């Protein structure tokens, strides 16, 4: 039979639809089997091919490699995930030698400052999205050690949505904008995300973290970081221990509230990026302590979860976090593109003494990150870009390729050789050569999951049960908001069913808020395997976590509402004390310019109600005294809204003397008619002659961050 010459040639087969014959390039998946790019039918796409149920993934898994490769190369040149980021230079110092645990050189000498470059990011949004969206935050650290680069590529959440890396393309496709209309941007509140997680119960633990306040950090300096996976530390004697990596912020953990982050996204989409940059520029350096959870190999199977399961964490109550060193970020990049955009983190960038495990998500990442850089950074020479270069000189026989900017001078580009006197030589153990841990590997090739990975709900339950009352309320409202955006009723119902396996009461509260019948019992409870566990973990709560750092106002922003007639003397006293504590103070008025203060003082105003961005851009609000100023402010709708909104978001509010007039006009419930001293639900007031006493109480309130008791007050019109 002759091949048709054009689309108008008469059809000679009835096996294709009319549309398919006219447009053979238009894929129509309805009623078809899943296949590879070579049209090979695929029977299973949830588990990578492994050597035994808990063994390492195999490179011969063509489906894993094809699926991940195609996913890695979906975007050019923007990162597929973690596209929106911000970064800083700094250094790390270990507190004391960790030779007992690892031979990694940068963890031996407390006098050595190891340079680092840290990139923070959101996961789902594009480069043009906002900083404050509800999302996981990337926390990737490149250590430029004397033995080469070590990349700790983690997040601000210690677990992940999936157990096996072969599911990563599916998850990201689901959380990204839907393919038909490219909406919504940087949001998980849509059908495809919730459809996926409702059908993938292993994601429920991570969903709880994503719906919590952990997904709305106040700043990068106020969030934890985690290595997510279980690593191995290996010492000079070859002894190995399992390890979980943590970053603990020195300033403590604080988050924003949902109404607040939505407004900030419109007023300043660079909110977190700007905070990081400005804090470093003024010398207020973000600091984090590196923490390790060390687990002896003999204890691997003693827990009620599998250490290789990336959807599980190790509760700190079972294995304490040992704080072993501190990282300080003290220098901003000189060029955003050259450094922040071109930095290439790879999970496979390891130094001797730190090794990987058979975690199937980690195994896929070992391949995926390197593969991704080939497209995003234009070829295999991305490691020679300045921000990616290690400190030691690189010597090998890699050759040519795109962007080769190193000029090799050797005469032999192969090994072994005699022309180049055998150089470069092979390194030995004393030379810091990387030595893989000699883990025994044996098993039948299978595309299955270990039974020890089967419990998908017990740690999600642990997370919910560990929340403080305000955090639980926020979690419920977040789920109601997200599911309220889902248009397909069957997806909403399926999610509630999954939630019932976590906590029936929690599921019922979420269901009531979205018009679904509350479940009366768990749909399909799964029992955890026998082993060590806890029923509640205060370390998971932002409010109740133990060993909190001492409260500080360093880095906090305070808006001072002023008008002509403001009491300049008391304002000067409080302002000086706040700034001495490291806080930033902005005078905000109806217009930019100046206001006339008492004692013939002229005060410079650099922010107006309009340009300040409103109360959402600040951590606390101050209303100084002065009868004329207070009356003027009480007549300004913008000033009243400023205070109402701050009150609704549970922020500290202070008023000195006549400043209380604005508070009463703003309906926030301050009933005092006199200027007596007092603290009421985070509202700090004081008489005009007690500015110093007021400062102490107001500073303490700012250090507390929020006063959640106010959330029950629904009468405030902001």
DSSP string, 291-324: EEEEEEGGGTTSBSS-TT-TT----TTTSPPEEE
pLDDT at 38 over 80: no
What domains are there in the chain, each with its CATH number?
50-388 (2.40.180.10), 457-540 (1.20.1370.20), 557-712 (3.40.50.880)
Residue positions annotated with a catalytic role: 82, 155
pLDDT at 353 over 50: yes
Q: Tell me what pLDDT residue 27 has.
A: 66
Phi, psi for residue 373 in degrees, rounded to 5: -65, -25
| Cα separation values, 315 from 299, 307, 454, Å | 15, 12, 19
Q: Tell me what pLDDT residue 24 has.
A: 58
**How far is the C-alpha of 208 from the C-alpha of 213, rounded, in Å?**
10
Strand partners, 555: none
Per-residue 3-state assignment (H helix, E strand, C coil) for 421-482:
CCCCCCCCHHHCCCCCCCCCCCCCEECCCCHHHCCCCHHHHHHHHCCCHHHHHHHHHHHHHH
**HSE-up (13 A, CA, CB side) for residue 574:** 34
Average pLDDT over residues 496-522: 97
Average pLDDT, the chain: 91
Cis peptide bond N-terminal to 77, omega within 30 = yes
Q: Tell me what pLDDT residue 697 has.
A: 93
Average pLDDT over residues 471-476: 98
- Provide the CA 198 distance to its chain's centre, in angstroms: 22
**HSE-up (13 A, CA, CB side) for residue 367:** 24
pLDDT band at 22 (very low <50, low <70, confident <90, very high): low
Per-residue 3-state assignment (H helix, E strand, C coil) for 538-606:
HHHCCCCCCCCCCCCCCCCEEEEECCCCECHHHHHHHHHHHHHCCCEEEEEECCCEEEEEHHHCEEEEC
Average pLDDT over residues 646-655: 95
**How far is the C-alpha of 385 from the C-alpha of 373, rounded, in Å?**
12
242 three-class SS:
strand
Beta-strand pair 137-145/114-122: antiparallel
pLDDT band at 314 (very low <50, low <70, confident <90, very high): very high
Least confident interval from 15-24, 116-125, 228-237 = 15-24
**How far is the C-alpha of 346 from the C-alpha of 333, rounded, in Å?**
20
Residues in the chain: 718
Whether this prediction's pTM lies above 0.95 is answered by no
Count Cβ neighbours within 10 Å for each residue of 586-617 and write b for 16 or more, e otherwise. Answer: ebbbbeeeebebbeeeebebebebeebbbbbb
370 three-class SS:
helix
- Residue whose token pair is 């010492």: 235
Give the other-Cβ count within 10 Å of 458's Cβ: 20
- Provide the CA 33 distance to its chain's centre, in angstroms: 36
Q: Tell me what pLDDT residue 69 has.
A: 85
Least confident interval from 6-10, 300-304, 339-343, 557-561 = 6-10
Question: pLDDT tens for residues 122-150?
Answer: 999 999 999 999 999 999 999 999 999 99
- Least Cα distance to 252 among 545, 478, 664 occurs for 545
25 three-class SS:
coil
C-beta contacts of 174-180 below 8 A and 24+ residues apart: 175/123, 175/124, 176/124
Q: Ramachandran region of residue 283, left (φ > 0), alpha (ψ -120 to 50) or beta?
A: left
Spatial contact of 120 and 222, defined as CB atoms under 8 Å apart:
no
pLDDT at 11 over 60: no
**How far is the C-alpha of 566 from the C-alpha of 603, rounded, in Å?**
9
In this prediction, what percent of the chain has a pLDDT beyond 70? 94
Average pLDDT over residues 480-488: 98
**How far is the C-alpha of 718 from the C-alpha of 124, rounded, in Å?**
30
pLDDT at 296 over 50: yes
Cα 667–Cα 672–Cα 677 angle in degrees, nearest 5: 120
**How far is the C-alpha of 562 from the C-alpha of 574, rounded, in Å?**
14
Question: pLDDT tens for residues 153-203?
Answer: 999 999 999 999 999 999 999 999 999 999 999 999 999 999 999 999 999
Average pLDDT over residues 398-411: 85
**How far is the C-alpha of 371 from the C-alpha of 347, rounded, in Å?**
11
- Residue whose token pair is 């929690």: 506
Residue 526 or 436, more confident = 436
Q: Tell me what pLDDT residue 26 has.
A: 52
**HSE-up (13 A, CA, CB side) for residue 388:** 18
Spatial contact of 327 and 290, defined as CB atoms under 8 Å apart:
yes
Average pLDDT over residues 290-314: 97
Q: Tell me what pLDDT residue 21 has.
A: 53
Spatial contact of 388 and 344, defined as CB atoms under 8 Å apart:
yes
Q: Tell me what pLDDT residue 2 has.
A: 40
Phi, psi for residue 550 in degrees, rounded to 5: -60, 140
**How far is the C-alpha of 539 from the C-alpha of 461, rounded, in Å?**
15
- Burial tier of 11 (Cβ tally within 10 Å: 0-12, 13-18, 19+): exposed
Q: Tell me what pLDDT residue 642 has.
A: 96
Strand partners, 394: none
């Amino acid at each position: 039979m002759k091949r048709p010459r054009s689309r108008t040639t008469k059809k000679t087969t009835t096996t294709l639809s009319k549309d398919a014959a006219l447009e053979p390039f238009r894929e129509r998946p309805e009623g078809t089997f899943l296949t590879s790019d070579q049209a090979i039918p695929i029977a299973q796409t949830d588990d990578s091919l492994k050597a035994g149920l808990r063994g390492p993934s195999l490179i011969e898994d063509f489906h894993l490699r094809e699926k991940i490769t195609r996913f890695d190369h979906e975007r050019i040149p923007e990162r597929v995930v973690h596209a929106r980021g911000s970064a800083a230079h700094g250094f790390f110092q270990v507190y004391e030698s960790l030779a007992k645990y690892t031979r990694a050189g940068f963890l031996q000498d407390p006098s050595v400052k190891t340079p680092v470059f840290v990139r923070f990011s959101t996961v789902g949004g594009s480069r043009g999205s906002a900083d404050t969206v509800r999302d996981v935050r990337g926390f990737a650290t490149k250590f430029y050690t004397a033995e080469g680069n070590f990349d700790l590529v983690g997040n601000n959440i210690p677990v992940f949505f999936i157990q096996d890396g072969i599911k990563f393309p599916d998850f990201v496709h689901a959380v990204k904008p839907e393919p038909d209309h490219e909406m919504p941007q940087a949001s998980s509140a849509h059908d495809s995300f919730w459809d996926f997680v409702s059908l993938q119960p292993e994601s429920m633990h991570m969903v709880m973290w994503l719906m919590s306040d952990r997904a709305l950090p106040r700043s990068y300096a106020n969030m934890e970081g985690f290595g997510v996976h279980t690593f191995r530390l290996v010492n000079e004697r070859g002894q190995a221990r399992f390890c979980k990596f943590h970053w603990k912020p020195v300033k403590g953990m604080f988050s924003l509230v949902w109404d607040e982050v939505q407004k900030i996204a419109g007023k300043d989409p660079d909110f977190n990026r700007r905070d990081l940059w400005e804090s470093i520029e003024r010398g207020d350096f973000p600091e984090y302590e590196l923490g390790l959870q060390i687990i002896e190999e003999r204890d691997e199977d003693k827990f009620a979860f599998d250490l290789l399961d990336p959807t599980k964490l190790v509760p700190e109550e079972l294995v304490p976090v040992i704080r072993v060193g501190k990282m300080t970020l003290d220098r901003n990049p000189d060029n955003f593109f050259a450094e922040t955009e071109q930095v290439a983190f790879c999970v496979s960038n390891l130094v001797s003494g730190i090794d990987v495990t058979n975690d199937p998500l980690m195994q896929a990442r070992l391949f995926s990150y390197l593969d991704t850089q080939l497209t995003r950074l234009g070829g295999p020479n991305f490691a020679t870009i300045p921000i990616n270069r290690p400190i030691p000189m690189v010597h090998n026989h890699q050759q040519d390729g795109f962007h080769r900017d190193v000029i090799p001078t050797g005469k032999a580009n192969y090994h072994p050789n005699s022309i180049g006197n055998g150089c470069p030589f092979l390194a030995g153990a004393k030379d810091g050569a990387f030595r893989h841990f000699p883990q025994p590997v044996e098993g039948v090739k299978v595309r299955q999951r270990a039974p020890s990975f089967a419990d998908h709900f017990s740690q999600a339950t642990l997370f919910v049960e560990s929340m403080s009352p305000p955090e639980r309320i926020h979690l419920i409202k977040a789920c109601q908001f997200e599911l309220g955006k889902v248009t397909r009723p069957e997806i909403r119902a399926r999610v509630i069913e999954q939630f019932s396996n976590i906590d029936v009461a929690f599921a019922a509260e979420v269901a009531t808020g979205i018009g679904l019948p509350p479940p009366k019992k768990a749909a399909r409870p799964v029992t955890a395997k026998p082993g060590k566990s806890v029923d509640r973990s205060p370390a998971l709560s932002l409010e109740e976590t133990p060993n909190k750092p001492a409260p500080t106002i360093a880095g906090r922003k305070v808006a001072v509402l002023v008008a002509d007639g403001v009491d300049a003397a008391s304002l000067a006293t409080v302002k000086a004390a706040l700034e001495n504590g490291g806080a930033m103070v902005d005078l905000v008025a109806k217009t930019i310019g100046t206001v006339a203060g008492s004692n013939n003082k002229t005060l410079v105003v650099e922010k107006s109600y309009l340009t300040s961005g409103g109360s959402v851009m600040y951590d606390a609000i101050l209303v100084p005294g002065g009868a004329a100023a207070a009356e003027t402010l009480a007549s300004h709708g913008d000033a009243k809204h400023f205070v109402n909104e701050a009150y609704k978001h549970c922020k500290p509010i202070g008023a000195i003397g006549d400043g209380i007039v604005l508070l009463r006009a703003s309906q926030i419930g301050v009933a005092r008619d006199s200027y007596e001293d007092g603290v009421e639900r985070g509202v700090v007031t004081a008489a005009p002659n007690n500015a110093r006493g007021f400062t102490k109480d107001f500073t303490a309130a700012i250090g507390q961050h929020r006063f959640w008791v106010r959330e029950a007050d629904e009468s405030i019109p902001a």
